Amino acid sequence: MKILVTGGTGYIGSHTTVELIRAGHEVEILDNLFNSKIEVLDKIEKITGVKPKFYKVDLLDYPTTLDVLKNAGFEAVIHFAGMKAVGESVEKPLTYYENNIQGTVNLLKAMREAEVKKLVFSSSATVYGDKGADSARLVETMTTGVGVTNPYGWTKAMIEQIIKDVCVADPKFEATILRYFNPVGADKSGLIGEDPNGIPNNLMPIVTKVYQGKIDKLVIYGDDYETEDGSCERDFIHVTDLAKGHLAALEHSCPGVSIYNLGSGKATSVFEIVAAFEKLAGQELPKEIGARRAGDLAVVCANPALAWEKLGWKTELTIEDAIADTLRYLKNLE
């Protein structure tokens, strides 16, 4: 299949591009390089032997986006491009709504013009909002967009709705919405991984920056949750497993909207993650217990049964694999 990957130089986009090429697909990347580096293309070539054709294009630039799609013969688009920092989205809501939503609307318009009928969209478990005790076993049929706490999360929920409406208007349109849980790890080559510009927001990139000495210490946000060890529990998923979920989604694409959780179904606590990292890194990290972070839920975990049933996809790699691969990636950065 000839596939356009938007946001293909980013963390999840680059790993998905690698898996698509490994599976024999032809991939082209559209990215504005806002939060990624052009060098990723050379890394992809080193890993796969193929350097994807690249368009430095912002989805907010509709005419150029249309130029990329028109007459290129793409069979499918996998859409990752977007902004994803939760805290920043609270400070700059309009930037988030403009980039994520207008960007997606432009992409969908260009797809319509170019008659590209298959879409896989990068959504998030955040669309479920706070489901109380049920947050420990989230199922695709649950309501979304209720109790979402930040504009980033709202953009994901709103884009899901836009995609559903597009499918109603065009019965031939095939959309798969993938709700990611917490992606971690790096490609086993150690050549690509998570390398955010600026100060990271998520646990694993913060842990790696503490390990590298770039951040003084890790603050664990609360040890008084109603969980086994008092810290929050999340469903961490190796980015390579996540990337493979996109291949499965493409293979099973069908008219209308299909929605899948991509998670492991296993909750791991913050303390467990940190301990596993320290063990594999062979050193303790400077850390302290801090206050709870606003908006954090005690446990967030997928029920990934539907993806297994319909896509034949499940996670295969462990937290330890993810940490070992992250350490290999960090070593290569030195």
| Positions 184 through 203 that interact with ligand UD1 (CB under 6 A) | 201-203
- Sort 103 into a burial class: Cβ within 10 Å, 0-12 / 13-18 / 19+: buried
Identify which range of 37-45, 72-80, 217-225, 326-334 contacts ligand UD1 by CB under 6 A. 217-225
Taking the chain, what is the end-to-end CA distance rounded to the nearest angstrom?
36
In whole angstroms, give the CA distance from residue 155 to residue 101: 6
**What ranges make up the beta strands (E) of 206-286?**
218-221, 233-234, 236-238, 256-262, 268-269
Using the rule CB under 6 A, is 209 a contact of ligand UD1?
A: no
Active-site annotation holds for 62: no
Query: Whole-number minimum distance, CB 45 to ligand UD1, in Å?
Result: 28
Using the rule CB under 6 A, is 300 a contact of ligand UD1?
A: yes
Q: Quick one: which of 82, 83, 78 has its CA closest to 52?
A: 78
Using the rule CB under 6 A, is 293 a contact of ligand UD1?
A: yes
Using the rule CB under 6 A, is 322 a contact of ligand UD1?
A: no
Using the rule CB under 6 A, is 153 a contact of ligand UD1?
A: yes
17, containing H or E segment: helix 11-22
By rule CB under 6 A, what count of residues binds ligand UD1?
A: 21
Among residues 26, 295, 305, 332, the one that binds ligand UD1 under rule CB under 6 A: 295
Any idea of the CA torsion for 110, 111, 115, 116, to the nearest 10 degrees? 150
Identify which range of 72-80, 137-145, 249-257, 294-302 contacts ligand UD1 by CB under 6 A. 294-302
The mark string for 42-81 relative to ligand UD1 (x by CB under 6 A, - otherwise) is ----------------------------------------
In whole angstroms, give the CA distance from residue 159 to residue 9: 21
| Positions 82 through 121 that interact with ligand UD1 (CB under 6 A) | 84, 86
Q: Supply the residues annotated as catalytic.
A: 152
